Amino acid sequence: MNAPSAAPTTGSPPHAATRPGQGGSEFLPAVKNAALAALVMLGLSIPIIAFRTENSMANELILLPRWRVVAVLCLIVFAVRLLLNLGGIHIARRRSAKRREILVTRVEAPTTLGQRIFFYAAPVLLGVAIGYPLITTLVNGGLSESRYWIDLGILVLTYVMLGWGLNIVVGLAGLLDLGYVAFYAVGAYSYALLAITFGLSFWICLPVAGILAALWGIMLGFPVLRLRGDYLAIVTLAFGEIIRLVLINWVDLTNGGAGIASIPRVSFFGIPFTADEDGFAATFGLEFSTMHRIVFLYYLILVLALVTNIVTMRLRRLPVGRAWEALREDEIACRSLGINTTSTKLTAFAIGAMFGGFAGAFFAVRQGFISPESFNFLESAIILSIVVLGGMGSQMGVAIAATAMVAGPEMLRNLGFLSAVFGDGFDPNEYRLLLFGAAMVAMMVWRPRGLVSHRDPSIVLGERKAISGALVKEGHG
């Protein structure tokens, strides 16, 4: 596959600067190359950044020139490119030397410091997650004051759970699913419709939602079994969109784009969180507070996420889990060794979908309102990017990535000095998805194995050794 190394690299400026023959003056070519990059940036900015279209008073589009922004961007590109060219030469050399080394060195990688940190990180992070409501209460000086933080924690954990669910399909079985949000939607609508139509409680609906989502997983998984790689991704994307469009247009059942409101709230195993005598507060002799429900929701999603994690970890040690990972590495080898690829793929789809369904039911009970717009393709892409950034197949990486991707932009919003720098009305949330997209590309270019790129082998003979992620051939099937 490494055709570029065989091909002559003419016309590719960064290589020109690193060619050994030109050793003496590396500065001039570097400047030239940086100027070229700035010129490309200028070309890219015309006219899409240089002119902003606005509706005038007469409701006609007018152009507002913004050449200052373009100039700043071009300068930034020039500076960054120049620094990369001057400092990057050595990095590039070291890297290519390292790459050659990888071809000859053995598989046994010593346990690095990073891996030892991750060994202790899991229990520490779990402790933080369990104590989180207490911590925020102490920091903010009251339960009600910390509502925002606990809500944020719930949001992060929801994405952690979705990431772990999708990780089964993408990280373990190597099937790229771009329509995962469909199962999330199935779970949410299952709970909402069952609870409103039949008056069933959340605790009955939760497993039902999971089972329904799993059935949908099998139904959607069945026709696409023969497809691989890119084709599979696109078809799952199409299925996800079809489900969303049906939710919008089947108004009789789903109330269409208006969504379903006033979904029954969660109860403490049958005891409602209300202020009256049968309520949670009165039963346990506490003073009534709306925060009880929020804290309960926090622990509910924490338990659901941990269940997802534990089930995944156990499944990896079962024959089916090993079959998933074998399928990811090489489907043809799997088939020739007698693994039933059909049932292996379907179980991956079904189990991944089931956890998506659980998360969906939780989403519905927390929000109290759902509409098809919550389940668009972007949501799928965000969950996928969490799995990808976390390093496909790594549970810890997914958790870290979910925290970074969901809580990160929220943190940015709270930083006052940003609006001082960029002017008033600066909303980092606007740039959130822009950063998501850029992060996905950057991740693939620099660290295609994700933030946590080492793997613990699922099964070992004798001594346990860590495997570098570079040796795992993810997503081949």
Site for another protein in 98-137 (CB under 8 A): none
Residue 231 to residue 224: CA distance in whole angstroms: 9
Residue 274 to residue 150: CA distance in whole angstroms: 20
Residue 472 to residue 393: CA distance in whole angstroms: 10
Look at strands 267-268 and 271-272 and give their pairing.
Answer: antiparallel
Report 258-317 residues binding another protein (CB under 8 A): none
User: Contacting another protein (CB under 8 A), which of 36, 124, 275, 444?
Assistant: 444
| Cβ 46 to another protein shortest distance, Å | 6
The residue type of 39 is L
When asked if residue 440 is in the footprint of another protein (CB under 8 A), the reply is yes
User: Contacting another protein (CB under 8 A), which of 20, 25, 55, 197?
Assistant: 55
When asked if residue 430 is in the footprint of another protein (CB under 8 A), the reply is yes
When asked if residue 46 is in the footprint of another protein (CB under 8 A), the reply is yes
Residue pair 298/154 in contact (Cβ under 8 Å)? The answer is yes
Q: Can you tell me whether residue 52 is helix, strand or coil?
A: strand
| Cβ 444 to another protein shortest distance, Å | 4
| Cβ 452 to another protein shortest distance, Å | 16
| Cβ 460 to another protein shortest distance, Å | 24
391 phi-psi bin (left φ>0, alpha ψ -120 to 50, beta other): left
Q: What are phi and psi of 234, to 5 degrees?
A: -70, -40
Give Cβ neighbours of residue 396 (< 8 Å, ≥ 6 apart): 118, 121, 122, 125, 390, 452
When asked if residue 338 is in the footprint of another protein (CB under 8 A), the reply is no
When asked if residue 88 is in the footprint of another protein (CB under 8 A), the reply is no
**Size of the residue set binding another protein (CB under 8 A):** 74
Nearer to another protein, 9 or 340 (CB): 9
The residue type of 13 is P
Residue 267 to residue 265: CA distance in whole angstroms: 7
| Cβ 259 to another protein shortest distance, Å | 17
| Cβ 234 to another protein shortest distance, Å | 6
Residue 446 to residue 184: CA distance in whole angstroms: 31
Binding mask 205-244 for another protein (x = CB under 8 A): ------------------xx-xx-xxx-xxx-xxx-xx--
Residue 69 to residue 249: CA distance in whole angstroms: 43
Nearer to another protein, 208 or 404 (CB): 404
Q: Which stretch binds another protein (CB under 8 A): 36-44, 193-201, 263-271, 346-354?
A: 36-44
Buried b (16+ CB within 10 A) or exposed e, 74-86: beebbeebbebbe
| Cβ 467 to another protein shortest distance, Å | 15
When asked if residue 463 is in the footprint of another protein (CB under 8 A), the reply is no
Nearer to another protein, 63 or 130 (CB): 63
Q: State both tokens at 189.
A: 């609508």
When asked if residue 381 is in the footprint of another protein (CB under 8 A), the reply is yes
When asked if residue 52 is in the footprint of another protein (CB under 8 A), the reply is yes
Nearer to another protein, 171 or 210 (CB): 171
What is residue 24's DSSP assignment? S
| Cβ 15 to another protein shortest distance, Å | 10
